[in-house]
Structure 1
């Protein structure tokens, strides 16, 4: 039986693990954290990712756990609608699906439930990956969780005694899936000449709010350099997210108080949602992305996936969706795992061919929207908002059609 090691137990890594197991691979998922998704947030899963999840038997379950994103669009900070979207129109164009909204933890749980017992190993740090042999080196038990991975064709982290002290365990894999996030040590080691992620100029906040009785519909509001998004979920929860143009490296103090300071004067129901939020539920992260595409999404037996391969700003809501697409395409390209793995390295060229151009285009498109949200000059903000409103009124079908290239993706045939 062919064996795969997945580094990282985020949504992309778990989806890849499920997809590979369904094709007969023996899979081990390595996660350096002590638990999965310890703090929850919300997630929008668009039609393209739903079709990918359908291929691994997860789509219908998460549809039942989710709220369907209704009609919405973009508003000004004062509440004026700038652009409207029709969920019915989008669903009609894409096989009945538009976007569903759920807790990120619910999708994680659904994926983990489909893995064989013992597949996920927590508190496990990868310190080396050899793309030529598929050897994965692990930090000794109790080693620092932040140890960096190395990768090369036979130097650092690949020799029989290269274990950061000689006592580290190792795994041998036919395929290594690097789903180790935006600051992926494996990516940095595989492509040392790549500049890596850059700061977008924006910081984001995410918070789940118990919002029973607080009215609201899915929308995103744009102000002068700031954004506030509202995503009603099932079970009386609302997922809120926000961005602001600010230097990287902040994050101390009461982040809920900061959100209230920034957005308390915005339109309803934003102040009510922030009033109902709890400080311990607020997540703050600087937004980085890969402005320069990688030369490939694989090297040797190692395939890069999700943020490790094409980290993007959140403005299109496609970060997790593209990781899910990656996962099912990778499993398709890897082939059946019941017998010998064969030349996995040669097959991975098909993965790069299928994914690199598409994801690079989405990264660029998302970054373009991010730049538009960062405008602060009052005159420029008015011009931006007027242009958006005119485009929505003059070509209302274009709003639904603009997502076709993304939402219209289809997974590879089995």
Structure 2
């Protein structure tokens, strides 16, 4: 079977669905190809910062997300060594682009919300691209099921192992040396946590406890794996005990935070290595070429310390839909190769340095938060924790604009 599509988006994650919805809002049709059989909600939840809500508002779904998720009033970073609050940052302040707004959003809820706003048939599941060829200006996509799709525009939102990024010549993401595991706990009668983000940093790990709603709490844990960890990554039970043992050994983590982990649901993929795109690769590499570009994790995989991976993906979707929509809508814009190329170059120019800043800042924050170096540990507990917390807020004080 062989079909022709104007715009094909590889990947139905945050970037892919945001791009498709943004194009739909502008009256432009696209087809999203998702390799799995359903939407993938791995990771359970993600911190949705101010910049992400501006993107969600631009897409017309911000209020639907707000209805079901708590708004945070403060961020509290605790030292895992002393148990003391090393920094407390108010999240009710005004930023340069308006008031801050931070919530922890369930990933499946957000993906479902974005999908439900799209026309029926916009997403084709169990559709994996295995090879990309060129015939003139058309990209010929060979699918795992043997079918062929001819695309006049190809957008790669296909994650950290992106086929499209590889075709563009972007180097593979770099292993950071850290791994992450996550979970979600449900409290039908209420959990009792306040409207705050809790972080526990130092002792070679970083952990966060973040209420999503009155009845659900998300947690994450990142660390440097070592041979001493043994077979912790073999099963959910072993990973849970590994995390509880590491956190409990400090004797400084509150019992209610440990309870979240004990009662939580965890993924069968109990942990994953953290990768990031080298900032130098983003300076030199091709984000777009002709009628092909990448967005989301395919463009800027980053470590999670800023909580900006998903937020930046939503920004990408709005900016890309705006730029690409202009190539199809308006006087003299016929969706031709020249219009599309100019639109994708504009997108790349707008997103390149934003991505470089986020990737670099996330790596630096993670290194400082988890380092066991004596000097860094001293500075972190005396001075740096507050600066790092404020950096997280500052990096979210960004507006990607309207469609």
Runs of 5+ consecutive residues of structure 1 not aligned to the other structure? 142-167, 393-397
- CA distance change for structure 1 residues 130 and 22 in 2, over 3 Å: closer, same or farther? farther
The number of equivalent residue pairs is 378
Counterpart secondary structure, 1:111: helix
- CA distance change for structure 1 residues 352 and 84 in 2, over 3 Å: closer, same or farther? same
Output aligned runs, 1:223-372, within 5 Å. Answer: 223-246=202-225, 251-253=233-235, 254-264=238-248, 265-268=251-254, 269-279=256-266, 283-291=270-278, 292-294=280-282, 295-336=285-326, 337=328, 340-342=334-336, 343=338, 344-372=340-368
| Residues 184 and 266 in structure 2, CA contact (< 8 A), matched pair in contact too | no
1:97 aligns with 2:85: no
| Residues 42 and 104 in structure 1, CA contact (< 8 A), matched pair in contact too | yes
Q: 1-side partners of 2:276 and 2:43: how far apart?
A: 22
1:25 aligns with 2:13: no
Q: 2-side partners of 1:278 and 1:319: how far apart?
A: 22
1:179 aligns with 2:173: no
1:257 positional shift: 1.6
Q: 1-side partners of 2:325 and 2:360: how far apart?
A: 31
1:315 positional shift: 0.7
1:100 positional shift: 1.6
Q: 2-side partners of 1:280 and 1:332: how far apart?
A: 35
| Residues 75 and 389 in structure 2, CA contact (< 8 A), matched pair in contact too | no
1:408 aligns with 2:397: yes
Q: 2-side partners of 1:333 and 1:305: how far apart?
A: 13
- CA distance change for structure 1 residues 172 and 2 in 2, over 3 Å: closer, same or farther? closer
1:156 counterpart residue number:
none
Q: 1-side partners of 2:33 and 2:298: how far apart?
A: 15
- CA distance change for structure 1 residues 63 and 283 in 2, over 3 Å: closer, same or farther? farther
Match of 2:183 among 192, 207, 216: 207
1:118 aligns with 2:121: yes
- CA distance change for structure 1 residues 64 and 128 in 2, over 3 Å: closer, same or farther? same
Q: 2-side partners of 1:72 and 1:133: how far apart?
A: 49
Match of 2:54 among 51, 59, 64: 51
1:15 aligns with 2:18: yes
Counterpart secondary structure, 1:26: coil
| Residues 256 and 282 in structure 1, CA contact (< 8 A), matched pair in contact too | no
Q: 1-side partners of 2:266 and 2:390: how far apart?
A: 36
- CA distance change for structure 1 residues 280 and 15 in 2, over 3 Å: closer, same or farther? closer
| Residues 232 and 242 in structure 2, CA contact (< 8 A), matched pair in contact too | no
TM-score (norm. length: structure 2): 0.86
Q: Deviations over 1:337-361 (max 9, x none)?
A: 3573122112211111100011111
1:379 positional shift: 5.5
- CA distance change for structure 1 residues 36 and 370 in 2, over 3 Å: closer, same or farther? same
| Residues 293 and 360 in structure 1, CA contact (< 8 A), matched pair in contact too | no
Q: 2-side partners of 1:325 and 1:331: how far apart?
A: 10
| Residues 69 and 212 in structure 2, CA contact (< 8 A), matched pair in contact too | yes
Counterpart secondary structure, 2:259: helix
Indicate the RMSD between aligned Cα atoms, in angstroms.
2.6
| Residues 66 and 100 in structure 1, CA contact (< 8 A), matched pair in contact too | yes
Runs of 5+ consecutive residues of structure 2 not aligned to the other structure? none
